[in-house]
A = this chain, B = another copy of it.
Amino acid sequence: MKVGVVYKLESSKLAEEVERFLNAREIEVELHHIPTPSLEKCDIIVTIGGDGTILRTLQELKDPPPVFGINTGKIGILTHSNPENFREWLEKAVSGELEIEEFMRIQGESKNDELVALNEIAILSVSQARLIEFEVHADGNMIDKLRADGAIISTPLGSTAYSLSAGGPIIDPYQDVICFTPISPFRIGFRPWVFSGNRRIRFRLLPLRDAVAIADGYKAIELSAGDEIVARKSDYPARFFKIEKRIERISEKIKVLR
């Protein structure tokens, strides 16, 4: 068994502790402070950091192994343990005692590029305070044409991230749906749409202004007039060791966000 450990530089000591803990169980360990696609060959990934560390790691991986998160940040909804109690839970993870859950990821394709996101693909104007104009289609059906600062195409897990700030609903993480939420739309009667996860959501940029599509806040591709992003459920979900009462944890996070 091989475990990849992704850690933030300020947690290198904790990373070594994790390494020793795993080596003592005769598990091979790879340490990475920058996530790379090679992590895909590991049997398990351990992240040391916050939800952001997990998001960045998963972006590098086409078909990610299961993730175990040690939380060194603020409230996380994806992490499994903290620096104090990681041994107990990591022991269970590597010995196969913890169930593995799958969560939908979203992929976005443009002419030349591809993005994958666990939370959202945000499409934003290149100029602050300047609108972009776009159409939204679902499986070939035109849903709307609108002007806005941007738009967010989010997964259920991402519904409590950027989408929430833009006015989106909270979505059950175990559901396969794609949520479309405009950001500061010029017309005031727009509402978020929750589409079936089987639909292809097509975002088509109209000539008003260039835009940029950003996956989980990290990876970006540029869009010009006429360019499209076709978003759909990825064939390769994220996999996480099971957390008890995940929906209660989301509910707790929301209370903190008020």
Identify the A interface with B (CB < 8 A). 122, 124-126, 128-130, 138-139, 141-144, 148-150, 159, 162, 164-172, 174-175, 177, 179, 183-189, 191-196, 199, 212, 214, 217, 245, 247-248, 251, 254-255, 257-258
Which B residues lie within 8 Å of A185 (CB)? 165
Once the chains are docked, how many angstroms separate the CA of A141 from the CA of B247?
A: 7
A195 to chain B, nearest CB (A): 5
Which B residues lie within 8 Å of A175 (CB)? 175, 177, 194-196
Give 9 CB contacts A-B under 8 Å.
A142-B248, A149-B149, A164-B188, A165-B188, A169-B179, A171-B193, A175-B194, A184-B184, A189-B254
Query: Could you say which of B184, B193, B196, B247 contacts A166, with CB atoms under 8 Å apart?
Result: B184
Which B residues lie within 8 Å of A179 (CB)? 169
Once the chains are docked, how many angstroms separate the CA of A128 from the CA of B223?
A: 14
Query: Could you say which of B122, B142, B248 contacts A141, with CB atoms under 8 Å apart?
Result: B248
Once the chains are docked, how many angstroms separate the CA of A6 from the CA of B146?
A: 30
| Interface contacts beyond A169-B191, A170-B194: sample of 11 additional A-B pairs, CB < 8 Å, sorted by A | A125-B128, A126-B128, A128-B150, A129-B162, A149-B149, A164-B191, A168-B191, A170-B192, A172-B177, A172-B199, A188-B191
Which B residues lie within 8 Å of A129 (CB)? 122, 124, 162, 214, 217
Q: Considering the complex, give the chain B residue whose CB is closest to the CB of A191.
A: B170
Contact A251 B142 (CB under 8 A): yes
Contact B193 A128 (CB under 8 A): no
Once the chains are docked, how many angstroms separate the CA of A254 from the CA of B258?
A: 10
A130 to chain B, nearest CB (A): 7
Kindly list the 9 A-B residue pairs having the minimum CB-CB distance in the complex, ordered from nearest.
Answer: A189-B189, A189-B258, A258-B258, A165-B184, A124-B128, A169-B192, A172-B196, A141-B248, A171-B194
Which B residues lie within 8 Å of A144 (CB)? 251, 255
Q: Considering the complex, give the chain B residue whose CB is closest to the CB of A179.
A: B169
Number of chain copies forming the complex: 4
Once the chains are docked, how many angstroms separate the CA of A189 from the CA of B186?
A: 11
Query: Could you say which of B124, B165, B193, B257 contacts A169, with CB atoms under 8 Å apart?
Result: B193
Which B residues lie within 8 Å of A165 (CB)? 148-149, 184-186, 188
Once the chains are docked, how many angstroms separate the CA of A170 from the CA of B192?
A: 6
Which B residues lie within 8 Å of A245 (CB)? 141
Contact A128 B196 (CB under 8 A): no
Contact B188 A258 (CB under 8 A): yes
Once the chains are docked, how many angstroms separate the CA of A92 from the CA of B204?
A: 37
